[in-house]
Amino acid sequence: MQSDSLPPAIRTDRLTKHYGAVRALEELTLDVPHGEIFGFLGPNGAGKSTMIRTLLGFLHPTSGSGQVLGLDIVADSVAIRRRTGYLPGGIALYDSLSGEAALDYLCDLQGAEPVRREELCQRLQMPVSVLRRKVRDYSRGMRQKIGIIQALQHDPELAILDEPTEGLDPLMQQAFYRLMEDLRRAGRTIFFSSHILSEVERICDRVAIIRAGHLMTLQDVDELLARRRRHIQLRWRGTAPDLTGVPGLADLKVEGDRISATLLGEVAPFVRAIASPALVDLTIEPARLEDAFMEYYADEEAAEAVRP
């Protein structure tokens, strides 16, 4: 994980990008330490790609500043790109080249050896026979795999991946998640944008939620999940217990022998309250990031609704 002597892999300070009247990013401040898988979450149009493109020097910030690997995003963008791997959202490749030639070309321009290519091709099931076919004959999933390989083949210190699992089948998504975990173990940093909540929940250490260019929250995924409401259902034999005093319990409904509720915070007081031989069945649905995400959005919408 993060070494104290190193600057954060990514640091932004009040980073702002406006396109005329459109405020794509608004005073976004965040740090991504080395060795972390960082999820950058938001719906389409929230500003995820704008943030990534600003970090890589495709866009110049309207105000604020940013550093990637300790280098300034405006003055040192070439040096930043030398040390990073980037997968653009909806990647386009050179159709007239074979997959192998495209990878060779891009690696050549990167000026680095493709030290991880063989491993990546193996793990993402891109055999030589497929690599030798023209990119124009590839399916969307195959193109996405080539995109992932081109971003990671030179084993960059930092990988910036814009919606990397788009177009991958569930099997390949799992292979990709394992790959990310291995890269984290190898000390690489992954900045990962997505609107698929389950994958962010599965592989990311921390997550930032962005909406309309504003940073809504930046938290550990575990912390975020701990703050979410769990859905609880239980069946009871005989008279239902009085659960009204259990801390964090809400939305309590009793229908015959069934009780449903939501629980926020610690589980232990609730478990103590229901510990009885009369308990027939218990289901605690784990908190999901999707709920957290929706809550943030619902809160913000409500706040907007009451704004004058």
**Binding region for another protein (CB under 8 A):** 19, 49-50, 53, 56, 58-60, 77-79, 81-82, 84-86, 88-94, 96, 105-106, 108-111, 150-151
CB of residue 107 vs another protein: minimum separation in angstroms?
Answer: 9
Q: With respect to another protein, which residue has the nearer C-beta, 150 or 189?
A: 150
* 182 residue type, one letter: D
Q: With respect to another protein, which residue has the nearer C-beta, 86 or 270?
A: 86
Q: Tokens representing 191? A: 């900045």
Q: With respect to another protein, which residue has the nearer C-beta, 60 or 237?
A: 60
Tokens 């740090």 map to which residue? Answer: 31
CB of residue 30 vs another protein: minimum separation in angstroms?
Answer: 20
CB of residue 80 vs another protein: minimum separation in angstroms?
Answer: 8
Q: With respect to another protein, which residue has the nearer C-beta, 16 or 221?
A: 16
* 135 residue type, one letter: V
Q: By the 8 A CB rule, do 96 and 105 touch?
A: no
Which residues of the chain form beta strands (DSSP E)? Answer: 10-19, 22-32, 37-41, 63-68, 71-72, 84-87, 158-162, 189-194, 206-211, 214-220, 229-236, 249-255, 258-264, 279-285
Q: Tokens representing 142? A: 């195959």
Residue 297, classed as helix, strand or coil, is helix
- CA 7-10-16 angle, 5° bins: 125
CB atoms within 10 A of CB 285: 13
CB of residue 90 vs another protein: minimum separation in angstroms?
Answer: 7
Q: With respect to another protein, which residue has the nearer C-beta, 93 or 234?
A: 93
CB of residue 111 vs another protein: minimum separation in angstroms?
Answer: 6
Q: By the 8 A CB rule, do 60 and 228 touch?
A: no
Residue 60, classed as helix, strand or coil, is coil
CB of residue 69 vs another protein: minimum separation in angstroms?
Answer: 13
Distance, CA of 9 to CA of 52 (rounded, Å): 13
Q: With respect to another protein, which residue has the nearer C-beta, 110 or 233?
A: 110
Q: With respect to another protein, which residue has the nearer C-beta, 58 or 297?
A: 58
CB of residue 92 vs another protein: minimum separation in angstroms?
Answer: 3
